[in-house]
């Protein structure tokens, strides 16, 4: 007995130590990104297990309170939750494994689930099962996390809606079809006004399915049919309200970057972009060109091209602090670096990355864009100042490692894309008489050098991706310089 008790003690200790280590690791890992004073730009980091277990307990309690506390309900609800959970976890593991590494996303999945179940119960209890906002929550998950998670939510929530309503097949199918229709549309959402279309689509899907069930004699007469039809249509309007209220809230609290947020950030009336246009026009033009190149390149490797475009708009905003120190803004031909030591020049160049992060935080720019600003130079060396230092100093102490950007290197494919687009745009701009071959050679040289230098060692980019990106960048730049290109 004593041995068993000791073993339990050791297991409990190990379990608590593991949780403590998880918390410590997650705090250390993102400490650099959490220096902001803005409450909403801070991420919430809770270990996965802390989100999952309370969610299961809360949902279980909610269901048995609703269905009646007796041993039959308790056992059947437990089996239903376990089966749904196993299905959900296996599917996520299969299709969207990376979500388990994102603690914020897990918290969001759990929180949305609890709110959805609560709303399902309220709808069923006080109005109608057909008003259950399953489609709204499936769509919200799809836009805040991913379409695949949205589809899984649609399946699970439709099953829960049916479970709460005596396993009614009509409730399951109406909820499921309405959800799938809107989840498949998530990529077309570009502005908040598009939520109205989502509401209309839910109403049409619900009406069609309810009518089908009427003709299958599922309902007791016209009165029940009309009742279900009315609430099925009202479900669309209810979804619009839910989306308008919850999406902006979760975008902020959980730092989710949705396409809608990206479109808002890409507006050239945004104060930061306006300032860049007026105070650093060269950088502004370079950013727009980089955005065109990065967007196309992101497209060919199936990454979020809108994020690439918007990230490129903001990648050099740190140059706003000292615009005249960057070649693209030197219109008078005077180069302030001529009067500085290479070490000073190096510091000024490095500072545009740090200044960019500070400016972005002050302007509540999303973390995904901040990552692009922070990593767009990786640990690339500043060859110009290194060689100048060699010429001026001429001693052995000058090391290229001291003339590198401090990093970090790109950790996501999208950042690597912006990095390549940025360097290729700047380099091709310097070609005096651009030809297709010169552009091709320049782009290949830049991408190869970055690869050999290990700039992509921390991101999951493949050689196949690099080849597709190289091809895309060459054709986009040739397209941009089409008028200037001398044909060989
Ligand atoms: Fe830069
Ligand atoms: Fe740049």
Tell me the per-residue pLDDT of 263-280, one tens digit each, with 9 for 90 and over: 989 999 999 999 999 999
Q: What percent of the chain lies above the pLDDT cut of 70?
A: 89
Asked, for residue 329, whether it belongs to a domain, the answer is yes
The pLDDT of 311-334, averaged and rounded, is: 89
The rounded Å distance from CA 429 to ligand 2 centre is: 12
Tell me which of 223, 256, 289 is where a domain ends. 256
Is residue 101's pLDDT more than 90? no
Asked, for residue 18, whether it belongs to a domain, the answer is no
Same domain, 418 and 321: yes
Same domain, 125 and 271: no
The pLDDT of 373-384, averaged and rounded, is: 93
Provide the token pair at 145.
Answer: 């996390």
The rounded Å distance from CA 180 to ligand 1 centre is: 42
The rounded Å distance from CA 12 to ligand 1 centre is: 49
Asked, for residue 20, whether it belongs to a domain, the answer is no
The rounded Å distance from CA 312 to ligand 1 centre is: 10
The rounded Å distance from CA 316 to ligand 1 centre is: 5
**Mean pLDDT of the residues in the chain:** 87
The rounded Å distance from CA 310 to ligand 1 centre is: 15
Q: Which ligand minimizes its atom distance to the CA of 286? A: 2
Same domain, 344 and 414: yes
The number of angstroms, rounded, from the C-alpha of 205 to the middle of its chain's C-alpha atoms is: 29
The pLDDT of 197-214, averaged and rounded, is: 94
Q: Which ligand minimizes its atom distance to the CA of 380? A: 1
CA distance 99 to 116: 20
Same domain, 286 and 230: no
The rounded Å distance from CA 203 to ligand 1 centre is: 48
The pLDDT of 189-205, averaged and rounded, is: 91
The rounded Å distance from CA 353 to ligand 1 centre is: 7
Whole-number pLDDT of residue 95? 85
* CATH number for position 366: 1.10.3210
The rounded Å distance from CA 377 to ligand 1 centre is: 6
Asked, for residue 177, whether it belongs to a domain, the answer is yes
Asked, for residue 19, whether it belongs to a domain, the answer is no
The answer to whether 234 touches 127, Cβ cutoff 8 Å, is no
For residue 253, CA distances in Å to 45, 256, 263, 454 come to 12, 8, 19, 35
The pLDDT of 445-462, averaged and rounded, is: 95
The rounded Å distance from CA 452 to ligand 2 centre is: 21
Same domain, 266 and 290: yes
The rounded Å distance from CA 315 to ligand 2 centre is: 6
Provide the token pair at 276.
Answer: 């860049």
Same domain, 281 and 225: no
Same domain, 247 and 345: no
Q: Which ligand minimizes its atom distance to the CA of 328? A: 2
Least confident of 36-40, 295-299, 354-358, 477-481: 36-40
Q: Which ligand minimizes its atom distance to the CA of 349? A: 1
Same domain, 303 and 426: yes
Same domain, 61 and 192: yes
Q: Which ligand minimizes its atom distance to the CA of 325? A: 1
Whole-number pLDDT of residue 141? 94
The rounded Å distance from CA 355 to ligand 1 centre is: 11
In the DSSP assignment, the letter for residue 44 is: P
Q: Which ligand minimizes its atom distance to the CA of 318? A: 1
pLDDT band at residue 41, thresholds of 50, 70 and 90? very low
pLDDT band at residue 461, thresholds of 50, 70 and 90? very high
Domain span holding position 227: 35-256
The rounded Å distance from CA 421 to ligand 2 centre is: 9
Q: What is the DSSP string of 436-485?
A: HHHHHHHHHHHHHHHHHTTTTTTS---HHHHHHHHHHHHHHHHHHTTTTP
The rounded Å distance from CA 470 to ligand 1 centre is: 20
Q: Is the pLDDT higher at 47 or at 137?
A: 137
Same domain, 325 and 454: yes
The rounded Å distance from CA 436 to ligand 2 centre is: 22
Same domain, 245 and 264: no
Q: Domain tally for the chain?
A: 2
Neighbours of 197 (CB within 10 A): 14
Tell me which of 230, 256, 282 is where a domain ends. 256
The rounded Å distance from CA 376 to ligand 2 centre is: 8
Provide the token pair at 2.
Answer: 């004593």
Whole-number pLDDT of residue 427? 93
Which residues lie at CB < 5 A from ion ligand 2? 316, 422
Asked, for residue 16, whether it belongs to a domain, the answer is no
Q: What is the dihedral of CA 414, 295, 430, 381, to 10 degrees?
A: 0
How much is the pTM? 0.76
Give the residue among 410, 424, 407, 408 at the shortest CA–CA distance from 459: 410
Whole-number pLDDT of residue 12? 62
Asked, for residue 9, whether it belongs to a domain, the answer is no
pLDDT band at residue 96, thresholds of 50, 70 and 90? confident
Q: Which ligand minimizes its atom distance to the CA of 353? A: 1
Q: Which ligand minimizes its atom distance to the CA of 374? A: 1
Asked, for residue 4, whether it belongs to a domain, the answer is no
The rounded Å distance from CA 98 to ligand 1 centre is: 29
Same domain, 237 and 283: no
The rounded Å distance from CA 420 to ligand 2 centre is: 10
CA distance 250 to 307: 19
Tell me which of 256, 271, 290 is where a domain ends. 256
The pLDDT of 405-419, averaged and rounded, is: 94
The rounded Å distance from CA 55 to ligand 2 centre is: 45
């Amino acid at each position: 007995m004593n041995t068993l008790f000791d073993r339990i003690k050791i297991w409990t200790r190990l379990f608590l130590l593991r949780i403590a280590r998880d918390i410590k690791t997650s705090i250390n890992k993102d400490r650099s990104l959490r220096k902001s004073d803005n409450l909403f730009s801070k991420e919430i980091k809770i270990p996965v297990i802390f989100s999952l277990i309370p969610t299961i307990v809360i949902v279980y309690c909610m269901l048995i309170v609703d269905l009646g506390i007796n041993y039959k309900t308790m056992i059947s609800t437990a089996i239903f939750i376990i089966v749904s959970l196993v299905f959900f976890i296996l599917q996520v593991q299969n299709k969207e494994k990376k979500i388990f590494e994102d603690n914020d996303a897990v918290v969001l999945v759990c929180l949305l689930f609890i709110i959805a179940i609560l709303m399902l119960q309220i709808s069923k209890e006080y109005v109608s099962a057909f008003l259950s906002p399953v489609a709204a929550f499936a769509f919200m998950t799809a836009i805040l996390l991913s379409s695949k998670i949205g589809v899984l939510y649609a399946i699970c929530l439709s099953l829960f809606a049916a479970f709460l309503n005596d396993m009614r097949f009509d409730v399951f199918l109406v909820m499921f079809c309405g959800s799938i229709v809107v989840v498949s549309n998530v990529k077309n959402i570009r502005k908040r006004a598009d939520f109205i279309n989502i509401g209309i689509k839910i109403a049409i899907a619900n009406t069609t399915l309810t009518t089908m069930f009427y003709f299958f004699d599922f309902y007791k007469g016209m009165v029940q049919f009309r009742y279900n039809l009315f609430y099925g249509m009202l479900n669309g309007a209810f979804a619009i309200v839910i989306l308008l209220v919850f999406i902006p809230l979760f975008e902020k609290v959980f730092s989710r970057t949705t396409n809608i947020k990206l479109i808002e950030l890409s507006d050239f009336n945004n104060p930061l972009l306006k300032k860049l246009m007026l105070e650093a026009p060269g950088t502004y033009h370079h950013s727009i060109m980089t955005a065109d190149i990065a967007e196309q390149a992101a497209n060919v490797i199936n990454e979020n091209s809108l994020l690439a475009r918007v990230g490129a708009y903001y990648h050099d905003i740190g140059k706003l602090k000292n615009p005249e120190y960057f070649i693209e803004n030197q219109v008078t031909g005077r180069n302030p670096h001529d009067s500085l030591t290479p070490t000073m020049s190096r510091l000024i160049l490095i500072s545009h990355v740090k200044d960019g992060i500070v400016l972005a935080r002050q302007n509540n720019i999303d973390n995904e864009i901040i990552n692009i600003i922070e990593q767009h130079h990786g640990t690339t060396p500043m060859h110009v100042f290194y060689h100048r230092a060699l010429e001026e100093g001429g001693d052995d102490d000058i090391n290229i490692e001291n003339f590198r950007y401090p990093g970090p290197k790109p950790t996501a494919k999208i950042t690597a894309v912006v990095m390549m687009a940025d360097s290729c745009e700047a380099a091709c701009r310097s070609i005096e008489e651009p030809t297709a071959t010169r552009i091709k050679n320049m782009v290949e040289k830049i991408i190869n050098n970055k690869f050999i230098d290990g700039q992509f060692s921390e991101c999951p980019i493949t050689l196949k991706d690099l080849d597709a990106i190289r091809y895309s960048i060459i054709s986009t730049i040739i397209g941009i310089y089409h008028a200037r290109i001398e044909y060989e």
